Amino acid sequence: MSNVLITGCSTGIGFATAELLARKGHTVYATMRHPQGAPALAQLAERDNLPITILPLDVDSDESVKTAIAQVLAQAGHLDVLVNNAGIAPLSVVEETPLEIYQRVMQTNYFGTLRCIQAVLPSMRERRSGLIINISSITGKVYAPYFGAYSATKAAVEALSETLAGEVEPLGIRVAVVIPGIIYTSIMDKLEQVAPDTFYPNLARMRALLLSSKENNIPVSVVGDTIQEIISGQRTGFRHVASPDAALFLGYRASLSDEDWIASASIDEETWIAGMAQMGNNVRPYLKAPVNSPVLS
What would the pLDDT profile of 173-230 be if each residue is shown by its tens digit?
A: 999 999 999 998 777 776 777 888 899 999 999 999 999 998 988 899 999 999 999 9
**Phi/psi of residue 165, each to 5°?**
-55, -40
Q: CA 34 to CA 57: how far, in whole Å?
A: 8
pLDDT at residue number 293: 36
Q: CA 30 to CA 17: how far, in whole Å?
A: 9
- Name the pTM for this structure: 0.94
Identify the H or E element spanning 282. none
Catalytic positions: 10, 136, 150, 154
pLDDT at residue number 10: 94
Strand intervals (E) in the chain: 3-6, 27-32, 52-56, 81-84, 130-135, 173-179, 239-241
Which residues lie below 8 Å from residue 266, measured CB to CB, with a gap of 6+? none
User: Is 3-196+217-256 a CATH 3.40.50.1360 domain?
Assistant: no
Confidence of residue 296 (pLDDT cuts 50, 70, 90): very low
Domain range summary for the chain, segments of one domain joined by +:
3-196+217-256
Task: Residue 114: count other Cβ atoms within 10 Å of its Cβ.
Answer: 17
